[in-house]
Chains A and B, each alone.
Chain A
Amino acid sequence: MADLTTNFAGVKSPNPFWLASAPPTNSAYQINKAFEYGWGGAVWKTIGDPVLNVCNRYGQFQYGGNRLIAINNVELISDRPIEVNLKEIREIKKLWPDRAVIVSAMVSSNEQAWKTVVQQIEDTGADAIELNYGCPHGMSERGMGAAVGQVPEYCEMITGWVTSAASIPVIVKLTPNVTNIVPPAHAALNAGANGISLINTINSIAGVDVDNFEIFPNVGGKGSHGGYAGPAVRPIALHMLSAIASDAKYQSQPVPISGMGGVETWRDAAEFLLLGATSIQVCTAVMHYGFRIIHELCDGLSNWLDEKGATSIEQVIGGSVPRISAYGDFDLSFRSVATIDEDKCIQCNLCYVACDEGAHQCIDLTADGVRIDPATYDGSATLQPVVREEDCVGCDLCSLVCPVDACITMVERPAKFPTVTWNELVRNRPDVTTDWDAMVAYRKEIGIEIH
């Protein structure tokens, strides 16, 4: 059994899984229950200024019969009196000294308000503070949450107030509702943040009822944007995590990152770890299935670490970061082509139509090994898709649409020309990158043919 113990800027937890600041961390009752099930930590639902909530608060994105692919919410920060929250936080930390108890906070943008809440949180014995710069609805209109996270200068100023007042670690939670996540991360680093967490929820409308034109979530006939979370946001979260993890300034001044955004299984968590996260926060999966998922998160992660020969989590954190690159540094000579395993093929022909109409027309339909002519085909034979390898551009679309495991695979083929990157071309053959005639000549020179 690999060691799942996690140390996040000095905050220790028996495993890397923390409940994210959200409805599952609303009360001592819930967090106590979560810790009984084995959660490593919890970020208390954001405490701060007074709020009132609405009905309905959630909308969902479902796809193909699967529910809660993502959830959209217009719920605000904790609506319980701040004194009640502080009392319960103190109680929980006393009962669970080995778990990470972190308190999320969001107050009006004035220094005194922040210093007061920092003091209140420290008095509970909590392990760390998370600054909620992400909430995209309700609070942002009042100059809090995403309104701060979207402006690096505000982010830096407020973080500075907090870090100068706090004696426990300060984690800055970033909003994904920006075009580039790196400047707000820099702001947090500049202000002395001890950790970063991301992503908060993404602006979204869950859907529209086409029968009565109402918007989800539907608040008495009105709708608005809400925060989007759950499995569907995971690729966006992974990208934002990778952008920070591969950033030069971050790498020169690294702080631990708490990754979140659609984590539901150990495998999702492993992906965040490999891209540089030290702890993992979970919300939507718990809202769907309950605290019990912690067992499989730990069991699966532990079995995976064992399989990889890793004895602790640290050994895999950032394991994929050296692979984070950019178009300009990709090897343009790398070549792969699709191959179809005809024994596995079930002749659904989805690869054919995807390639022929959505890609590069390199898959033929054949009957008894002979390419049929779609214009004259009479529908009498079972058709077998076949890749015309010499024309295959290696886009990978066919294997993605194929419903059968390992039926279509992308196979590496020897490069047809020497290794070269776009950045090298920009440096060494600038004309090729700016002039079509030069590009055509270059292609001819190295033997690239694009049909």
Chain B
Amino acid sequence: MPNEEVTLAHLQDSFSETYPRYTKNEATVEANRCLYCFDAPCITACPTSIDVPTFIRQIANDNLLGAATTILESNLIGHSCGRVCPVDELCVGACVLGAEHRPIAIGRLQRYATDHVFETGASVFEPAPATGKRVAVVGAGPAGLSTAGELAKRGIEATVFERSELPGGLSTYGIVVLREPTNVSLEEVEFIKSLGAKVRTGVEVGVDVTHQELMNEYDAVVIAAGTGPVPPLGVPGEELEGVIEALPFIAATKIADKDGREGLLNIPVGNEVIVVGAGNTAVDAATVAKRLGAERVTMLYRRSRAEMTAYDFEVDFVRGEGVDIRLLTQPIEILGENGKVTGVRCVRMRLGLPDESGRRRPEPVPGSEFVLPADQVIKAIGQEKLSALFSGFGVESIAGYVKVDEELRTSNPKVFAAGDCVRLTGQALTVTAAEDGKIAARAIARQLGVPEPAKRPGATRGRFLHGTTNDIRSVHG
């Protein structure tokens, strides 16, 4: 049971965004620090190529509508990305001021701009004339929403089918509230709908609507369904009460956040919590457990820090929360009494020779078994793939991921796929899902004979202009 000293007021505080919105003064000072580099590395580092220096300059000039437009014309999921992007790995990591002084807080500035237009409801894009073309999108997460919005910008009617009650995918259910409040995700869905896309929730493809119906009724289908449930750990004791999956645990806090956070008081959390896994979801689950009132939270990972997929900033953050990360530790049995978890039997590991993935293979150290007490075990060891959904559309897959070409077209030319379900290699990020949506929509439009929308004047303003019409060379030849 959670710590009895945990009150609603405490939870309200603990589940507020870690980085509050900049004040106008903060935003202006930070924006004016930007050098406004030409062909800036932050643009290249952004998977969606947001023209970062331009939107920052627009913030400096108090043109927040312009700033938000600059962001959203490159990335319709920019409202989420400003919060959830691993910016230190992307734009902020590329900022030239990082070497000189301190990089620009690009994510927070992005959020400042999008918050403004989402709050004022200012209109960012003119609706495109309808082409009569229709596309079905499976999954209302960032990839599906980006695809649908990008299609809508081209006058193609997109209908998004979402199995869950709420749209938004991981933004709504999976990103810890401290980084993205649930309403931010839901606002983003409304924005995509305002472009002309339709979103139907509580509709599961293969159950409520057949694959064939979608194939027959639409000009193209996009699979943007993400990944499936957590696979079993494969150790004895997994059925015990108190063994849960990370994503539903995080999702419960997201739902509570949407409804005023009172629900946070009712989420079951242990006092001694063990999180199995060391990816970003594991970090989020550990953070949530700690903030809900768990006294001790321990993450278990069978390899070393070098192999952990969680980002440095997340590991630093979770350690700051007081979470213990036990590396080279593998659970081998979940112990229980009266059907309830009481502990986890672990074995220490060491790294042997590299395996087929090139990473050194962890091996148990004989005789090193020990027991960690626990009253809750949270599984965060990756997700299973949605093979049944894919095969329903008759598309090929590789290692559980949908097989796609460069334009995200599957083995069936009428079917495209985007987001985590195609992320065989590379990082499964909100921002890469957003970029997938752009790629898929462009390819679908081309396939359906729909012309690309006219570029706004100066759309490549922050970079070299290519394809200019006049052959006038510099005076130096």
Residues in chain B near residue A293, CB distance under 8 A: 57
B65 within 8 Å of A by Cβ? yes
Q: Is B118 an interface position by the 8 A CB rule?
A: no
Stretch at the interface among A136-144, A294-302, A393-401, A428-436: A294-302
Given contacts A27-B475, A32-B472, are A292 and B461 in contact (CB under 8 A)? yes
Q: Given the known A-B contacts A266-B63, A296-B63, A405-B24, are A95 and B470 also in contact in the complex, defined by CB atoms under 8 Å? A: yes
The B440-477 residues at the A interface (CB cut-off 8 A) are 457-458, 461-462, 465, 468-470, 472-475
Q: Would you call B458 and A303 a contact (CB within 8 A)? A: no
Residue on A nearest B64 in the bound complex, by CB: A303
Which residues on the A side are within 8 Å of B36 (C-beta)? 289
The chain A residue sitting closest to B54, CB to CB, is A296
How far in angstroms is the closest Cβ of chain B from A24?
A: 13
A292–B462 CB distance below 8 A: yes
Interface: B330 (CB within 8 A)? no
CB-based nearest B residue for A302: B66
- Name the B residues within 8 Å of A438 (CB-CB): none
Which parts of A24-43 form the interface with B (CB within 8 Å)? 26-29, 32-33, 36-38
Judge whether B472 and A28 touch: CB under 8 Å: yes
Name the contact of B63 in the complex, choosing from A37, A300, A404 (C-beta under 8 A): A300
User: A290 in the interface, Cβ–Cβ < 8 Å?
Assistant: yes
Q: How large is the interface on B (under 10, 10 to 19, 20 to 34, 35 or more residues)?
A: 20 to 34
Could you tell me if A303 and B23 are in contact, using CB atoms closer than 8 angstroms? no
Per-residue interface assignment for chain B, residues 167 to 208, with 1 indicating a CB less than 8 Å from any chain A CB and 0 otherwise: 000000000000000000000000000000000000000000
Beta-carbon contacts under 8 Å, B62-78 to A: 62-63, 65-66, 69
State whether A265 and B472 are in contact (beta carbons under 8 Å apart), knowing that A295-B54, A295-B457, A298-B457 are contacts in the complex. no
* CB pair A292 B474 closer than 8 Å: no
Give Cα A304–Cα B62 distance, bound, in whole angstroms: 10
**A29: chain B residues within 8 A (beta carbon):** 472-475
- Report whether B66 and A299 are in contact in the complex, using a CB–CB cutoff of 8 Å: yes
Which residues between 7 and 62 of chain B lie within 8 Å of chain A, taking CB atoms? 23-25, 36, 38, 54, 57-58, 60-62
Consensus secondary structure, chain A interface = helix
Chain A residue numbers with a CB within 8 Å of B25 are 404-405
CB of A267 closer than 8 Å to a CB of B: yes
Residues of B within 8 A of A294 (CB): 458, 461
The answer to whether B54 touches A33, judged by C-beta atoms less than 8 angstroms apart, is: no
Compute how far the CA of A404 lies from the CA of B29 in the bound complex, rounded to whole angstroms: 11
CB of A373, distance to nearest CB on chain B (Å): 33
A26, A32, A95, A299: most-surrounded residue (chain B CB, <10 A): A299
Are A292 and B63 in touch, CB under 8 angstroms? no
Q: Do B54 and A405 touch (CB < 8 A)?
A: no
Distance between Cα atoms of A292 and B54 in the complex (Å): 9
Bound-state CA distance A174–B470 (Å) is: 34
Check if B457 sits within 8 Å of A290, measured CB to CB. Answer: no
The complex places the Cα of A405 from the Cα of B66 at a distance, in Å, of 22
- Give complex CA distance A273, B54 in Å: 24
Across the interface, B23 reaches (CB within 8 A) one of A266, A298, A405, namely A405
B472 A296 Cβ-Cβ under 8 A: no
- What distance in Å separates the Cβ of A120 from its nearest Cβ neighbour in chain B? 20
Q: How many A residues face the partner with a CB closer than 8 A?
A: 29
- The complex places the Cα of A327 from the Cα of B57 at a distance, in Å, of 37
The interface residues of chain B lying within 8 Å CB-to-CB of A300 are 58, 61, 63, 66
Say whether B465 contacts A296, CB under 8 Å.
no
Q: Which residues of B contact A267 (CB under 8 A)?
A: 61-62
Q: Which residues of B contact A38 (CB under 8 A)?
A: 457-458
A292-B66 contact, Cβ under 8 Å, with A29-B473, A405-B24: no
| Residues A373-405 near B (CB distance < 8 A) | 404-405
B58: chain A residues within 8 A (beta carbon): 296, 299-300
Contacts A294-B458, A405-B25: A36 and B65 contacting too (C-beta < 8 A)?
Answer: no
C-alpha spacing A405/B29, complex, angstroms: 11
Report the separation of the CA atoms of residues A294 and B54 in the bound assembly, to the nearest whole angstrom. Answer: 11
For residue A341, give the distance in angstroms from its CB to the closest CB of chain B. 13
A36-B465 contact, Cβ under 8 Å, with A28-B472, A294-B458, A298-B457 = yes
Which chain B residues lie closer than 8 Å to A36 at the CB level? Answer: 465, 468-470
Of A95, A265, A298, A404, the most chain B CB neighbours within 10 A belong to A265
* CA–CA, A296 and B461, complex, Å: 9
A304 to B65, CA, bound (A): 10
Q: What distance in Å separates the Cβ of A263 from its nearest Cβ neighbour in chain B? A: 12
User: Do B61 and A292 touch (CB < 8 A)?
Assistant: no
Complex: A38 Cα to B457 Cα, angstroms:
7
Nearest-CB distance from B61 to chain A (Å)? 4
Which B residues lie within 8 Å of A33 (CB)? 465, 468, 472
Contacting residues of chain A (86-121) with chain B, CB-CB under 8 angstroms: 91, 95
Cβ–Cβ contact A303 & B472, under 8 A = no
CB neighbours (8 Å) of B60 from chain A are 265
Q: What's the least CB distance linking B27 to chain A, in Å?
A: 10
Q: Across the two chains, which residue of chain A brings its CB closest to B65? A: A303
Residues of chain A lying within 8 A (CB to CB) of residue B63? 266, 296, 299-300, 303-304
A residues in contact with B66, CB < 8 Å: 296, 299-300, 303
- The A162-220 residues at the B interface (CB cut-off 8 A) are none
In the complex, what's the smallest C-beta–C-beta distance from B21 to chain A, in angstroms?
14
Q: How far is the CA of A37 from the CA of B464 in the complex (A)?
A: 10
Let me know if B458 and A292 touch, CB within 8 A: yes
Do A296 and B473 touch across chains, with their CB atoms under 8 A apart? no
CB distance from A95 to the nearest CB of B (A): 5
CB distance from B342 to the nearest CB of A (A): 52
Whether the pair B458, A295 counts as a contact (CB closer than 8 A) is: yes
B458 is contacted by which of A27, A37, A405 (Cβ under 8 Å)? A37
* Nearest CB in chain A to that of B457: its residue: A38
Inter-subunit contact A296/B61 (CB<8 Å) = yes
CA distance A266 to B24 in the complex (A): 18
| Closest B residue to A88 using CB positions | B472
Please, which residue of chain A has its CB at the minimum distance from the CB of B55?
A: A296
CB of A78, distance to nearest CB on chain B (Å): 11
User: CB-CB contacts of A1-45 with B at 8 A, as 1s and 0s?
Assistant: 000000000000000000000000011110011001110000000
Least distance between B73 CB and chain A CB atoms (Å) = 11
**In the complex, which of the residues A32, A95, A295, A404 contacts B461, with contact meaning CB atoms closer than 8 Å?**
A295
B62 to chain A: which residues have CB within 8 Å?
267
Docked complex Cα distance between A201 and B458 (Å): 29
Find the A residue at minimum CB distance from B476: A29
Known A28-B472, A300-B61, A405-B24: A292·B457 in contact at CB below 8 Å: no
Name 6 extra pairs, CB < 8 A, besides A36-B468, A292-B458. A36-B470, A267-B61, A292-B461, A296-B461, A298-B457, A300-B58
Which 3 A-B residue pairs are closest in the complex by CB-CB distance?
Answer: A295-B458, A300-B63, A295-B461
Can you give 19 A-B contacts (C-beta < 8 A)? A26-B475, A27-B474, A28-B472, A29-B472, A29-B474, A33-B472, A36-B470, A37-B461, A38-B458, A80-B475, A289-B38, A290-B38, A292-B38, A293-B57, A295-B54, A296-B58, A298-B457, A299-B69, A405-B24
Residues on A lying within 8 angstroms of B by beta carbon are: 26-29, 32-33, 36-38, 80, 91, 95, 265-267, 289-290, 292-296, 298-300, 303-304, 404-405
